[in-house]
Structure 1
């Protein structure tokens, strides 16, 4: 068998395994998290993150099959990580928001529908958690305080 046929066969095997892994992880994660009674949006987010990591692994394997050397892959990955590191350092508050939202997301100290009280010296606030995403926690308050100072 020549090299091209072997590469095509390996690629087909990887893509077949990718399809199986994609399907299995979706079902396993969804069923497991349903038992944990997580909100549907959180389950979808965890499935998307898992599929992202699986896709990155498949692209790495395919690039190795089709002739990219480890050195080239390592240079590409380190370049991407360097750019992300510089971008996050430039936007320190963005990195802080993402880190705190991931902590809130995975440790589950608050859930949708919980009432939260923010103890701020100048602007205390209390409200129901309406939405959780990567950057913000949206609260639905009973009355909106007037922060405009004329």
Structure 2
């Protein structure tokens, strides 16, 4: 054990420093996402989704930094990443629509002007929709029409279409009527 500690003391020191820095970075990013979610009154489930994305980002950064700390050459690392990204690139091309919806979900977390409970009208020439936002997920919105029909609408399309706010927070207004 002593031989291991003396032989790899530099790498162990770098590893500990990387862990401390990444834990702090993760804490800061999660606090920022939480503050944005709280300030803009975003549903906690959407904020937790951002936490998952932050965790994935931290894991990717950790892999990259640990590789350097333990002596992997830049050439070796570039070979691994280029091979991985080639495979991922082919796979992502096949599922670009899903990634587009996830990216749109992230954008909507920070700048979507409508909230759960708002009644909106989507101006789509092929299929106009007027419905209440029931939930905002990673891939799509759940919209409930006046007929009670549940419609899922992709996040990437909601950012491409014109949307009008018909009524703010329908659920609160319904609760007032029942009192």
TM range (shorter): 0.7 to 0.9
State the distance in 1 between where 2:7 and 2:48 align. 40
Q: Which moved more, 1:4-13 or 1:117-126?
A: 117-126
| 1:83-125 alpha-carbon deviations (Å, 9 max, x no partner) | 2322232234334434444443433143211212244556443
Unaligned runs of at least 5 residues, structure 2: 150-179
Q: Match of 2:60?
A: 56
Which of 72, 87, 91 is residue 87 of structure 1 equivalent to?
91
CA RMSD of aligned residues (A): 2.7
Q: Match of 1:66?
A: 70
- CA separation of 1:107 and 1:31: change in aligned 2, threshold 3 A: closer
State the distance in 1 between where 2:58 and 2:77 align. 17
- CA separation of 1:15 and 1:112: change in aligned 2, threshold 3 A: same
State the distance in 2 between where 1:26 and 1:100 align. 19
Larger proportion of strand? 2
Q: Which moved more, 1:134-143 or 1:90-99?
A: 90-99
- CA separation of 1:84 and 1:47: change in aligned 2, threshold 3 A: same
Q: TM-score, normalised by structure 2?
A: 0.65
Q: TM-score, normalised by structure 1?
A: 0.75
Q: Match of 1:138?
A: 142
Q: Match of 1:97?
A: 101
Show the 5 A alignment for 1:11-90. 11-90=15-94
Asked whether 1:115 is paired with 2:114, we answer no
